[in-house]
Structure 1
Amino acid sequence: MVIEFQKKLEYVTGYRVNRQKYADEVLDNPELFPELIRLCFQTLDKNASKACWILEFVCYQKLEWLEDHLDFFCSHIKNLKDESAIRPVAKVCQLLILSHYKKKEIQLSPKHLDEIIESNFDWLINDTKVASKAYAMRTLYLLGTHYDWIHPELKTIITKDYPNHSSAYKAVAREVLKKIK
């Protein structure tokens, strides 16, 4: 079944309904989830980003499944370079932080939190696309409510980069800066 699932990744497209179809397959077959996580970080595999798309959709419904894989997930997010993989993983990071602090459902260790913080700052300061930067800003804002050094750093980066970005970046930047003040 795992090999069959790997082959199916060839047919995943960016269409929402298509991504949901394959996420539903994982949701119906939880034994596929560990393989999905592994595939997300096979950065040399052309289907790794597709696995990340599916992971995002699965995590919307079953974020708790990620709990047993947090060591692997958090230690590997820094290795992602493909924009198509970074955006969904940035969203999963945001879901994890929301769940950890707001809902108190997922327990992240200090090491997990450090790895998420590092990756999100990297996405924010490096040349990644706006959607990933937006998720990173929001995630770092949430983290900054528990780490007093994050908000000043975040504010400095956003303010410095603000003039050079798109209106979408600026909208999220304004939202986050307003909350920081």
Structure 2
Amino acid sequence: MTTAELYEELNYVNHSREKRLHYANLMIKNPDLIPKLLDILFRVDDKTSPRAAWVFEFMCSNNINTIIPHLDDFTEQMHKIHLDSAVRPVAKICELITKSHTSKQDNQIKKALTATHKERIIEVCFDYMINDKKVAPKAYSMTTLYILGKEYDWIHPELVLILEQDFALQSAAFKARAKQILYKIKKEKING
């Protein structure tokens, strides 16, 4: 399948779990299509970019190891994504990567994720937190930053500052997640 053919196929992707899963499985079974999917994802002003993001997120949710050969490309370009419907899956993928990286189970992400990848993830998550993004990317970013803050000691103080500053202005969903994160950070600080 060419990039142009995949682009056309993505017109059939919608919000239904069934469609996203179908195309995610297609990527998992045909890993040679993943660079083509990323090419479409990073056409950041194209209305098909979010559809590629949805498929990529489902693929990573089903098998996070499929992203490993593409970590450099993904983390290098993810900051360019700006359409809200594509930002949410990118933030979710960052959370999935981070959770795998810090999982108690041994996995391939632990070996593949470099300091550079983590720095790029941290940067994009802080961007989502301070810029005018919707609640879902902020919630995924909070979790990602909380997790990586255990490894990078400067993150938690910055995250607390942002959460406390934005708290009054944000939605109930943001406040609920922020309370959880602030509680965890405070608890860890007390327990040393």
- TM-score bracket relative to the smaller structure: over 0.9
Q: Distance in 2 between matches of 1:30 and 1:77?
A: 20
Amino acid at match of 2:32: E
Q: Which runs of 5+ in 1 are unaligned?
A: none
TM-score by length of 2: 0.90
Q: Distance in 2 between matches of 1:153 and 1:71?
A: 26
1:169 to 2:170 alignment: no
User: Runs of 4+ in structure 1 displaced over 4 angstroms?
Assistant: none
Instruction: Please name the residue that 1:40 is paired with.
Output: 41
Instruction: Please name the residue that 1:145 is paired with.
Output: 150
Deviation at 1:10, TM superposition (A): 1.2
Q: Which runs of 5+ in 2 are unaligned?
A: 187-192
Deviation at 1:36, TM superposition (A): 1.2
Identity of counterpart residues, as a percentage?
A: 44
Instruction: Please name the residue that 1:120 is paired with.
Output: 125
Instruction: Please name the residue that 1:29 is paired with.
Output: 30
Conserved in 1, the CA contact under 8 Å of 2:148 and 2:155? yes
Instruction: Please name the residue that 1:11 is paired with.
Output: 12
1:133 to 2:120 alignment: no
Aligned residues between the structures: 181
CA RMSD in angstroms, aligned pairs only: 1.2
Q: Distance in 2 between matches of 1:66 and 1:171?
A: 30
Instruction: Please name the residue that 1:88 is paired with.
Output: 89
Instruction: Please name the residue that 2:190 is paired with.
Output: none
TM-score by length of 1: 0.95
1:155 to 2:160 alignment: yes
